């Protein structure tokens, strides 16, 4: 059995924008995984199939990305559609557990 961490491949539209920032924060909150980011406009189609094959989980930013991911040959059993922030209610206040502040606690 390998000691390697499972690979999570996140799809993202633009580096530095909202979903990319969320991916970066969630990656810090989930250190038991090896996180890779597929910035859709920056990955050549010839490399995409290899990224998907190596991934244990592929998290797509939205439903259109799921269609594109399947068309590129991804295993549908590996795909999750859209993993957003998670908010909890603590004594009447809502906290987003995937904020940058929460990731460093």
Rounded to 10 degrees, what is the CA torsion of 98, 68, 39, 13?
A: -70
Distance CA 35, CA 26 (A): 9
List, for residues 17-47, the tens digit of each pLDDT value.
888 888 888 888 888 999 999 887 777 777 8
CA atoms within 13 A on the CB side of 6: 8
Beta carbons of 33 and 54 less than 8 angstroms apart: no
Q: pLDDT at position 87, please?
A: 65
Helix (H) or strand (E) holding 103: helix 100-103
- Which residues, at least 6 apart from 54, have a Cβ–Cβ distance to it below 8 Å? 7, 9
pLDDT at 97 over 70: no
pTM here is 0.74
Helix (H) or strand (E) holding 52: helix 45-54
Higher local confidence (pLDDT), 99 or 54: 54
What CATH code is assigned to 7-103?
Answer: 3.40.50
pLDDT at 76 over 70: yes
Q: pLDDT at position 84, please?
A: 63
């Amino acid at each position: 059995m390998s000691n390697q961490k499972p690979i999570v491949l996140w799809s993202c539209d633009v580096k530095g924008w909202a979903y990319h920032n969320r991916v970066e924060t969630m990656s810090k909150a989930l250190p038991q995984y090896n996180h890779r980011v597929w910035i859709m406009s920056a990955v050549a189609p010839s490399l995409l199939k290899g990224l998907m094959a190596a991934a244990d989980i592929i998290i797509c930013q939205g439903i259109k990305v799921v269609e594109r991911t399947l068309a590129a040959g991804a295993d549908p059993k590996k795909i999750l559609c859209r993993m957003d922030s998670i908010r909890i209610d603590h004594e009447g206040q809502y906290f987003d557990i995937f904020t940058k502040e929460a990731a460093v606690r």
